Chains A and B, each alone.
Chain A
Amino acid sequence: MSTEIVNTDIKIKLLDLFQENLSVIKNDSPDYINKIREKAIELFSKLGFPDKKNENYKYTDVKKEFDNGYKTYLSPKNIKFEIKDIFSCDVPDLNTKVILLLNGWFYDRENLLQELPGGAIIGSLQKAMEVYPELVERHFAKYADMEKEGLVALNTAFVKDGIFLYVPKGVVIEKPIQVINVLMDEEEGFTSHRNLYILEENSQASVVVCDHTLSAVNFLTNSVAEFFVGQNAHFDYSRIQNEHNGSKQISHLFFHQEKDSKVTNNTISLHGGVIRNNISVLLNGEGCENNTYGLYLTDKGQHIDNYIFIDHAKPNCISNQLFKGVLDDFATGAFNGKILVRKDAQKTQAYQANNNILLTDDADIKTRPQLEIYADDVKCSHGATVGQLDENAMFYMRARGIPKKEAKLLLMYAFAHEVIQKIKVPALKDRINDLVEKRLRGELSRCNSCQMHCCNT
């Protein structure tokens, strides 16, 4: 009962915060955004935080994370640093365009919108709202469903900044774009950035997102990203989550795919205290292809929960889901994948697999692969396994003189490789291979990428 009161408190606190800072929040946002804000805050006050009674949040108590009383920032804090000084990228040899987001704010305040070859634009969403109102208005909050999800409504109400990417018709961006999300502060912080990616017809882009924490304090993130992938556009999105154990990350990705478009989405979760990834995909045209892959390696008291929803609204689409995880120590994990095939979505092919390895008796995994099918001419399958490393393979290697520890590593590495090989950017694939190997050996920590040596964990 007492938690109930506390939770009501944090909800009321946030609502109050919104009202008190109304002018600051609404200031320098265009009217059309402020209108959406009002609707969002209304929805949030109605929906509140999802609790464990909500089937979709059965295995992760997100409400509890908000009770810590994080501070939220309404304007960017003035933290000056040279990216090279404190941060060396995990993917150094990647020939990419690097964009930095600090605590949810676009870092390069001098250069808020940058033009890429072919007329594509990347930059701060806040600035884009002002400079390209028509474009933003057409897509903003159109794909993220806040009617059902209080957390999305909360993010929308407080929306300030984040990444904005616009790729016009027919433009192909050859170089992958790398977005680095850095959380760094002296005190505990709550960030809720918002990203908007718009890919018009026949365009192509590839984005790599790395999440990092650079100070030892606790962080809570509640981010929303919307993706519009136009007709025949190809989009490749890879995310590497590598935050420390005091960070809680809740992210919501909404993909909207038009006819003949293709999206590949890789989520590699290496470290993080609590990670909850919501990925929803709407296949809104014939001939779409969606690949959603994930790999999670957790240990200690880490918790990961992947929630995937693929909506086959139109016929002749293909979707693939593959999520694999290794859980060590007393880590806990959950996977919830749902495929919905609507009435007229004939000739759908949808596949879903979730494989888990538990290394200790204290680790546990909950998996719910679900199918909801209303069309008859479909091929859908799902599978889930929970098990251990193959004893026969282990024996084979040990019989050939490979030490037990090494054999175990090899097997885990092979297990993870199925997901890694789906990554399309070769340099990134190699790098992630390295990272995963390091991670499995227990050599990778968040401090690897940090030059500040502020902690010894």
Chain B
Amino acid sequence: MQLRKVMEKDQDKILHEVTQSEYKYGFVTDIESESIAKGLNEDVVRLISQKKNEPEFMLEFRLKAFRYWQKMKMPEWAHLQIPEINYQDIIYYSAPKQKASGPKSLDEIDPELKATFDKLGISLDEQKHLSGIAVDAVMDSISVKTTFKESLADLGIIFCSFSEAVQEHPDLIKKYMGSVVPYTDNYFAALNSAVFSDGSFCYIPKGVRCPMELSTYFRINAANTGQFERTLIVAEDDAYVSYLEGCTAPRRDENQLHAAIVEIIANNNAFVKYSTVQNWYPGDKNGLGGIYNFVTKRGKCAGENSKISWTQVETGSAVTWKYPSCILLGNNSVGEFYSVAVTNNHQQADTGTKMIHIGKNTKSTIVSKGISAGFSNNSYRGLVKVTKNATNSRNYSQCDSLLLGDKCGAHTFPYIEVDNKDSIVEHEATTSKIGEDQIFYCNQRGIKTEDAIGLIVNGYAKEVLNKLPMEFAVEAQKLLQISLEGSVG
């Protein structure tokens, strides 16, 4: 009894510390930026297009999307409580001021800006960079600098900012943009299609295996702005690429909107691996401020034997609304989704995936691990749909939830729709807290309760963390530690 009391006290203390943990990327860079006025109308859409010096087809795409968006209503089906968002109170375009022609070399980049990314641990200084990751750094949805561009170009790989791709490879953009996530897809996709300012574009030609990890780092800096970026990855036949995405934002009392689109196309035998460590500012411990994260991510396994794998570690954002999906169109294509979502304090997450089996012999795996603490709510929402023609398809889903505290919630909303007799679909989920026996076992062996919780949480998330590229796995593990600080050593 005595021991139990001590343990409970310990746990209370630890959970208390968890709720006290601070967001360490919350600084603001004092950098000159160029913004347009608040508000959204057709003129703003035209202005953005004009500022980016876009060809006619882009403006048309934006306007069509904007007109469609105006007719839509914000979706309310998610298990989230979102205060009404005033879309007229947001700045839709903000860019760090740069010299007119854009940076030619490192010396031309604003030193403040470089310092920001250095502080975040993202080195733009490629000569000294050893880890071998090519980075496209995006601040306030404007691409700041893409590293290793030239050496990648030798292999025929195009890796650049989206605006650059619009200028230099309009045919590719025209062909693929909106082919996976059309602007009519949903409310936030329409909004993004109308006002997106930049993002990354990546094209891997036939037969090329990208020799390094490609990475985009997103940073929101300016106040009152929304960040709307768009990523497009095209892998031609037999190509391979591993793509990483990271994000942070300063600490502010008001909520900021982030609505992004990621589109992936994998042709025959291509393999695209997309990893995200999402660490937007989650708001303070009373739920004030934080990023509203509404993201549409979708991959299309267009070719036979193609494969798309999503791995995500979601620790940030006040509200997360995100369902990285796979359309398994090609025969024998494979879709994967691995997710760890941590919510603390007043964070809310409604995240999951969609696996749409259309081709024959398609396979998908879903592993989702939710961890909720504080007053947070963490939901898994996923759809597995097997159409009539997708014979011999196979899906396995597992979604587990771990509850740390009695004021948080963990929810599971799977949708399974099967329309043929040869397919096998399995779904299982459990919800539990860390067992007292597990902690007792560790304590008995001289491991402190604090370390024990760390061990158990880490072990719990290991299955997903293992799927991350090595450099990211380390960062993700650290993030998990920060999010649950106090419980993990």
Contact = CB atoms under 8 A, between A and B. Distances in A.
Interface string A142-167: 00000000000000000000000000
A381 B416 contact: no
Given A346-B406, A373-B401, A388-B424, A382 B417 contact: no
B58 interface: no
A361 B431 contact: no
A380 B416 contact: no
A178 B401 CA distance: 43
B431 A378 contact: yes
B24 interface: no
A375 to B, nearest CB: 6
A372 B409 contact: yes
A370 B416 CA distance: 11
B14 interface: no
A374 B409 contact: yes
Contacts of B38: none
Interface in B375-433: 386, 388, 391, 401, 403-433
A53 to B, nearest CB: 10
A394 interface: no
A374 B433 CA distance: 12
Contact of B424 (A369, A379, A386): A386
A381 B431 contact: yes
Nearest to B418: A386
B191 to A, nearest CB: 22
A379 B432 contact: yes
Contacts of A381: 428-431
Contact of B427 (A359, A362, A369): A369
Interface in B327-367: none
B425 A385 contact: yes
Contacts of B415: 366-368
Interface string A322-364: 0000000000000000000001001000000000101111111
A376 B427 CA distance: 22
Interface string B423-464: 111111111110000000000000000000000000000000
Contact of B406 (A366, A367, A371, A375): A375
Nearest to A383: B428
Contact of A370 (B405, B406, B411, B420): B411
A442 to B, nearest CB: 18
B406 A377 contact: yes
Contacts, number: 117
Contacts of B57: none
A287 B418 CA distance: 37
Contact of B419 (A364, A378, A385): A364
Residues of A contacting B: mostly: strand
Contact of A388 (B407, B410, B421, B427): B421
A386 B427 CA distance: 9
A348 to B, nearest CB: 10
Q: Which of B388, B405, B408, B419 has the most CB of A within 10 A?
A: B419
A101 B408 CA distance: 48
Contacts of B422: 361, 388
Contacts of A362: 388
Contacts of A128: none
Nearest to A366: B417
B403 A363 contact: no
A374 B79 CA distance: 13
B411 A372 contact: yes
Contacts of B408: 374, 376
Nearest to B417: A366
Contacts of A14: none
Contact of B421 (A55, A359, A376, A379): A359
Residues of B contacting A: mostly: strand
A371 B424 CA distance: 22
B427 A361 contact: no
Contact of B425 (A343, A377, A386): A386
B403 A376 contact: yes
Contacts of B403: 373, 375-376, 378
A136 interface: no
A358 B403 CA distance: 36
A199 interface: no
A384 interface: yes
Contacts of A370: 411-414
Nearest to B402: A376
A371 B427 contact: no
A386 B412 contact: no
A364 B428 contact: no
A343 B422 CA distance: 41
Given A373-B409, A382-B412, A387 B429 contact: no
A373 B372 CA distance: 11
A375 B433 CA distance: 9
A387 B418 CA distance: 9
Nearest to A353: B428
B414 A343 contact: no
Contacts of A375: 403, 406
Contacts of A358: 418, 420-421
A365 interface: yes
A418 to B, nearest CB: 17
A32 to B, nearest CB: 38
Nearest to A359: B421
Interface in A122-147: none
B468 to A, nearest CB: 27
B418 A371 contact: no
Contacts of A361: 388, 391, 419-422
B416 A371 contact: no
A385 B395 CA distance: 10
A373 B423 CA distance: 31
A383 B399 CA distance: 10
B269 to A, nearest CB: 28
Contacts of B401: 371, 373
B388 A368 contact: no
Nearest to B379: A372
Given A346-B406, A376-B404, A380-B431, A371 B412 contact: yes
Interface string B113-135: 00000000000000000000000
A378 B405 CA distance: 11
Contacts of A369: 412, 414, 427, 429
A381 B428 CA distance: 7
Given A387-B424, A388-B424, A371 B410 contact: yes
Interface string B162-187: 00000000000000000000000000
Contacts of A356: 418
A383 B429 contact: yes
Nearest to A379: B432
Contact of B431 (A346, A373, A387): A373
A368 B413 CA distance: 7
A369 B430 CA distance: 12
A385 B426 contact: yes
A382 B416 contact: no
A377 B418 contact: no
A362 B418 CA distance: 10
A362 B419 CA distance: 7
B352 to A, nearest CB: 12
A371 B427 CA distance: 13
Contacts of A379: 430-432
Nearest to A335: B416
Given A366-B417, A370-B412, A386-B425, 7 more contacts: A368-B416, A378-B432, A381-B430, A382-B428, A386-B418, A386-B423, A387-B424
Interface of A: 55, 343, 346, 356, 358-388
Query: Which 5 residue pairs spanning A and B have beta carbons closest together?
Result: A376-B403, A364-B419, A383-B428, A386-B418, A371-B412
23 contacts: A55-B77, A346-B406, A361-B420, A362-B388, A364-B419, A364-B420, A365-B416, A367-B417, A368-B416, A369-B412, A370-B411, A370-B414, A373-B411, A375-B406, A376-B405, A376-B406, A377-B433, A378-B403, A382-B412, A383-B426, A383-B428, A384-B428, A387-B424
Interface of B: 77, 79, 386, 388, 391, 401, 403-433
